[in-house]
Amino acid sequence: MGTGDPFGMPVTHIVTAGMGGMRTTGDLVAWLQMTRRMKLADAKAYVAKKLGIDLMDLVDEDVMYPLRKELGIGTVTPEAGGPEGIVAKSRVADLLGIEINSVKRFKAQME
Amino acid sequence: MSNSIFTRMGDGERVSMSPMEIRDEIRQGSASAAEMARIPVLSDSESDELFDIIAEPGRVVSVPHGHELIVTDDGIAECFAGSEADGGSGVSISRPASVLSYERALAADTGSLGHSDYSFKPVKAILDVELQAYHTISMLTTVPLFYGSQPNMGQYFQPDGPYPNPADLMPAGKIKEAQKAQEDAAEQLCADMVYIGRELNAMGCEGFNFDTAGSTGDAEFYATLKAARQLKQHAPDMAIIIGMASEFVLGMHGEIAFDGQQLAGLFPHDQVKLAESVGADIFGPAINVDTSRSFPWNLSKALTMVKETVARAAIPVHPNVGMGVCGIPMLLEVPIDCVSRASKALALIGKADGL
């Protein structure tokens, strides 16, 4: 992104063009760019296939809020005791079939 | 269509232009980029699309459904808690509270952490503090979390660092000595960045951001590429972003090369191929803003370079779109009319994979 005040910079970019993070599938698509070097279209297609949804559903809150709750991969409005943080990331790694460094190190400490 | 369209200058000043004036600015901005970087200008249809985005009457604009992209950041996630001169909010909250607010209140796709000086050299001295902070926050966050810092090789020169200052040597005609000082500083910088990166990886870092690479010129870009290659070989599970400082690599050394490629003067469409070759996962071009030219001129120039970079890249491209780069006016409290238009244009015309 870049520098500037939070309202002018991240808020505006996120509202204008962002995928919506945990509100939808922004974090999931980002993981594919980071771990598989996938371009945007390929990453979106990969996530949609893994979730069994259409491409347009990737940014639809009406689809993704219940689906994220069902999968236990975290929402922006968490329920107390529900999966979030490293637990949610662990499930994301399994769901997408990727290695997440923090999850790998966390699991190694649990063994 | 109104005969007077609201837009801005590169320094943020509000101005009105006629449709013909805006189209002319778009044409000239693209021509300037094409001439400098020796790449194609925007097509007529792309220029028309950019005009439509700039001329939209709403204060803010947005991409159509299905054209959303990924938003990565460079220390912005913790800026609610910071007082940095480039955008900190100065709120008295903790770093974890800031990053979690960024993740959940702003619905960001990724988050990040970085030392408030945001340079590798000071990070080395307090690395344990940063490792613990990152680890604690990464246990709480669900979105990918980067650790970012700038190579900022200028901190390695006297009086701040151990090496003779090229800015003193060059005016004295000591060109070889200035080059040697930069080569020595680059090796130390590379060693420091690799050390920090290896420690972060061992702690469980998810992503590592070389931010504003090349700010001290070609020798700094050399150090960044060398460090990225070593880190990727050692830590393949830690994603790497290389984000640039400016549209072309400054030739402060002038002759330094990486894998046989002279670095001075490289534009983003060539920079990205080197980033790819060393194993970077995401590349961030930075296209300079001319504050004396208009927003349409600057955005058109940025789109011309970004579009070519994306077309040649095999990895995701996330253009830097903070104040003073990729069309955004050089203003601390950045005007949202320009930010949203730059965002939309980079997604639709630049075909960016993220911002």
Tell whether the model's pLDDT for residue B312 goes beyond 70: yes
**pLDDT at residue B74, rounded to an integer:** 86
**pLDDT at residue B88, rounded to an integer:** 86
List of chain B residues whose C-beta atoms are within 8 Å of the C-beta of residue A28: none
Predicted-complex ipTM score: 0.97
Q: What's the gap in Å between the CA of A53 and the closest CA on chain B?
A: 13
Tell whether the model's pLDDT for residue B2 goes beyond 80: no
Cα torsion through B347, B351, B353, B355, rounded to 10:
-40
> Which of residues 47 through 106 in chain A touch B, CB cutoff 8 A?
55-56, 59, 73-74, 76-78, 84-86, 88-89, 92, 99-102, 104-106
pLDDT in tens, A74-87: 999 998 999 999 99
Tell whether the model's pLDDT for residue B108 goes beyond 90: yes
Among A59, A61, A28, A34, which residue's Cα sits nearest to residue A46? A28
Question: Burial level of B286, CB count in 10 A (0-12/13-18/19+)?
Answer: buried
Tell whether the model's pLDDT for residue B98 goes beyond 80: yes
- Helix axes B127-140 and A101-110, enclosed angle (nearest 10): 90
Q: How many CB atoms lie within 10 A of CB B66?
A: 11
Q: Which helix (H) or strand (E) holds A42?
A: helix A40-51
Cβ <8 Å between A12 and B336:
yes
pLDDT in tens, B36-63: 999 999 999 999 999 999 999 999 999 9
pLDDT in tens, A19-58: 999 999 999 999 999 999 999 999 999 999 999 999 999 9
The answer to whether B165 and B185 have CB atoms below 8 angstroms apart is no
**pLDDT at residue B89, rounded to an integer:** 87
Give the mean pLDDT of B202-221. Answer: 97
List of chain A residues whose C-beta atoms are within 8 Å of the C-beta of residue B62: 15-17
Give the model's confidence band at B87: pLDDT under 50 very low, under 70 low, under 90 confident, else very high.
Answer: confident
Q: Looking at the partner chain, which of B60, B142, B238 has a beta carbon nearest the beta carbon of A16?
A: B60
List of chain A residues whose C-beta atoms are within 8 Å of the C-beta of residue B349: none
> CA B67 → CA A16, B255, B260, B317, distances in Å?
10, 42, 38, 15
pTM: 0.97
Mean pLDDT for chain B?
96
> CA B185 → CA B90, B178, B197, B332, distances in Å?
34, 11, 18, 32
**Angle (CA) B310 B231 B156, round 5°:** 95
Cβ <8 Å between B320 and A8:
no
> CA B22 → CA A84, B59, B297, distances in Å?
48, 17, 8
The answer, for A107 touching chain B at a CB cutoff of 8 Å, is no
Rounded Cα–Cα distance for residues B16 and B177 (Å): 51
The answer to whether B188 and B221 have CB atoms below 8 angstroms apart is no
Tell whether the model's pLDDT for residue B128 goes beyond 70: yes
Give the mean pLDDT of B217-238. Answer: 98
List of chain B residues whose C-beta atoms are within 8 Å of the C-beta of residue A35: 237, 239, 281
